[in-house]
């Protein structure tokens, strides 16, 4: 009986004893592989973000190097602005794209510091990688970063100096600091005071706490040098005055109208052709077109308008040779191809209202200016509008440079200085 019991217990032990691999089961093996995959994805994300930060790290600070970026179309950009560099990069990794978006949001929110935030993000991720290798859970690391961010904000608030918008010298120093790391740092003595004067001219320093940069327009014109950059209390158009039929190029006591309709023959709403085989009918069509355009031009003249700004049209020609001929005979200065994005700034500066239909072209919708004239520059001509009634609400900075690379960089640098 004792022998049977021993044999039974040994057979039970044999049945219940399993190899270690079988005891762990497929579920635990799957968990181990999931952890390994999570670790691999985490490392891949950190490597991608660090590579983006390393790409712009060398452009940081006054001793930073400029980057030459060539696009697929052959365009070349030379800059050390972090947002511009990252915008030109073709990034595919999702985490790297997040750093690009981080730089964009910094550019929108603060206007400067785009390289700094990218480099700081890369450095924080580098330290996070070290902590992960020590076995610290990612949630603990992220919560610690949030606590550190709150403490950093308190320290920065304590050591910051309030900006007095009435202290011009302090503002010039701040703008010069922003320009010292740019390609055009040698011209910071000119551009820093110009940016500060532009800022102070659109606000009341006694009451203002912030500045709307939409009130400061930056216009680029090729020709001359950076030293020729100037501040204009009014408007500057890079579009030329229409010289058809000997129209005027200078108007004093200007009454400015901004139209958003076309001074040309109407077209059908659908794509179709009209075939005219009779010469009398053809002659009648031409006479009707001439009469239609002449009536529109007469309504413009009747309102007292002597400077006409025509918004660019994408559907058909905003103005044709016949309407330009009639307007020139009526001594009306015409500037065409006004961009839609500039309409709000023009209206705020001149005090005019955009006119969408010829039937609503009334004198009360016209803007005013003392002088509108065309000026020759090194590379073409520009139109200057000065003596506007709303002087002090808006201002225009006319940027000049000898080539497009320096011109684009000077515009970006002025934007950073204004911010």
Pairing of strands 307-311, 250-259: parallel
Q: Which residue has the tokens 């103005």?
A: 319
Question: Of the residues 112, 215, 408, 416, which is catalytic?
Answer: 416
How many angstroms separate the Cα of 242 from the Cα of each of 289, 318, 328, 350?
21, 13, 9, 20
Answer for the pair 237, 383: CB distance below 8 angstroms, yes or no: yes
Question: Of the residues 79, 114, 118, 349, which is catalytic?
Answer: 114
Structure tokens at 363: 């004198």
β partners of residue 368: 255
Report DSSP letters for 236-262, one per residue.
EESSPBP-GGG--SEEEEEEEEEE-S-
Q: Which residue has the tokens 């939409």?
A: 214
β partners of residue 200: none
Taking Cα atoms as reference points, which of 107, 63, 110, 108 lies closest to residue 85? 107
**Distance separating alpha carbons of residues 227 and 339, to the nearest angstrom:** 27
Answer for the pair 406, 76: CB distance below 8 angstroms, yes or no: no
CB atoms within 10 A of CB 404: 13
The reply to whether 81 belongs to the active site is yes
Answer for the pair 95, 49: CB distance below 8 angstroms, yes or no: yes
β partners of residue 252: 371
User: pLDDT 10s per residue in the chain (419 long)?
Assistant: 344 444 444 443 334 444 444 444 555 666 666 666 777 888 888 888 888 888 888 888 778 888 888 877 778 888 888 888 888 888 888 888 888 888 888 888 877 788 889 999 999 999 999 998 898 988 999 999 999 999 999 999 999 888 877 788 888 888 888 888 787 888 888 888 898 888 888 887 777 777 788 888 888 888 888 888 888 888 899 888 887 777 888 889 889 999 988 888 777 667 777 788 888 888 888 888 888 888 988 888 898 899 999 888 776 777 888 888 888 888 889 888 888 888 899 998 888 899 988 888 898 999 899 999 988 877 778 898 988 887 768 899 999 888 888 888 888 888 888 87
Taking Cα atoms as reference points, which of 40, 51, 147, 65 lies closest to residue 93? 51
Structure tokens at 239: 């579009």
Answer for the pair 296, 323: CB distance below 8 angstroms, yes or no: yes
For 66-87, the three-class secondary structure string (H helix, E strand, C coil) is CEEEECCCCCEEEECCHHHHHH
Q: Which residue has the tokens 């603990």?
A: 140
Judged on CB neighbours under 10 Å (0-12, 13-18, 19+), 18 is exposed
**Distance separating alpha carbons of residues 235 and 82, to the nearest angstrom:** 31
How many angstroms separate the Cα of 97 from the Cα of each of 93, 108, 117, 120?
6, 17, 14, 16
Q: Which residue has the tokens 């635990």?
A: 28
**Distance separating alpha carbons of residues 240 and 248, to the nearest angstrom:** 12
What pTM was computed for the model?
0.74
Answer for the pair 346, 357: CB distance below 8 angstroms, yes or no: no
Q: What is the pLDDT of residue 154?
A: 94
Taking Cα atoms as reference points, which of 333, 327, 321 lies closest to residue 297? 327
The reply to whether 84 belongs to the active site is no
Angle at 283 between CA 277 and CA 288, to 5 degrees: 120
Question: Of the residues 79, 84, 95, 115, which is catalytic?
Answer: 115
CB atoms within 10 A of CB 348: 16
What's the start-to-end Cα distance of the chain, in Å?
97
The reply to whether 377 belongs to the active site is no
Structure tokens at 323: 């309407």
The reply to whether 79 belongs to the active site is no
């Amino acid at each position: 009986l004792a022998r049977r019991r021993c044999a039974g217990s040994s057979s039970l032990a044999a049945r219940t004893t399993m190899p270690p691999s079988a005891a762990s089961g497929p579920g635990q093996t799957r968990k181990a592989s999931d952890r390994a995959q999570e670790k691999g994805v985490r490392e891949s994300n950190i490597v991608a973000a660090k590579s983006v930060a390393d790409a712009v790290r060398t452009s940081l600070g006054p001793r930073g190097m400029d980057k030459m970026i060539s696009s697929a179309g052959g365009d070349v950009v030379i800059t050390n602005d972090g947002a511009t560099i990252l915008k030109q990069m073709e990034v595919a990794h999702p985490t790297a794209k997040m750093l690009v978006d981080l730089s964009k949001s910094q550019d929108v929110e603060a206007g400067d510091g785009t390289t700094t935030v990218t480099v700081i993000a890369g450095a924080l991720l580098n330290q996070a990688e070290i902590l992960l290798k020590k076995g610290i859970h990612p949630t603990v690391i992220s919560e610690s970063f949030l606590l550190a961010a709150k403490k950093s904000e308190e320290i920065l608030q304590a050591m910051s100096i309030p900006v007095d918008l009435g202290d011009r010298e302090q503002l010039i120093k701040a703008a010069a600091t922003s320009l010292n790391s740019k390609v055009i740092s040698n011209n910071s003595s000119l551009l820093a005071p110009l940016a500060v004067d532009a800022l102070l001219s659109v606000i009341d320093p006694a009451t203002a706490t912030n500045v709307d940069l939409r009130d400061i327009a930056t216009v680029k014109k090729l020709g001359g040098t950076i030293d020729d950059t100037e501040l204009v209390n009014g408007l500057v158009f890079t579009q030329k005055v229409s010289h058809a039929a000997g129209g005027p190029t200078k108007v004093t006591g200007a009454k400015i109208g901004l139209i958003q309709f076309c001074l040309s023959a109407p077209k059908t709403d659908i794509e179709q052709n009209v075939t005219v085989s009779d010469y009398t009918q053809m002659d009648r069509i031409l006479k009707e077109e001439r009469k239609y355009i002449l009536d529109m031009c007469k309504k413009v003249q009747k309102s007292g308008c002597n400077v006409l700004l025509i918004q660019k049209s994408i559907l058909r020609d905003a103005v044709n040779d016949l309407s330009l001929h009639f307007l020139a005979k009526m001594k009306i200065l015409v500037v065409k191809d006004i961009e839609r994005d500039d309409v709000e700034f023009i209206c705020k500066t001149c005090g005019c209202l955009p006119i969408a239909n010829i039937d609503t072209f009334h004198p009360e919708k016209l803007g005013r200016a003392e002088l509108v004239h065309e000026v020759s520059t090194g590379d073409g001509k520009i139109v200057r509008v000065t003596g506007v009634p709303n002087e002090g609400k808006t201002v225009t900075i006319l940027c000049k440079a000898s080539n497009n690379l320096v011109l684009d960089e000077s515009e970006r640098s002025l934007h950073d200085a204004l911010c």
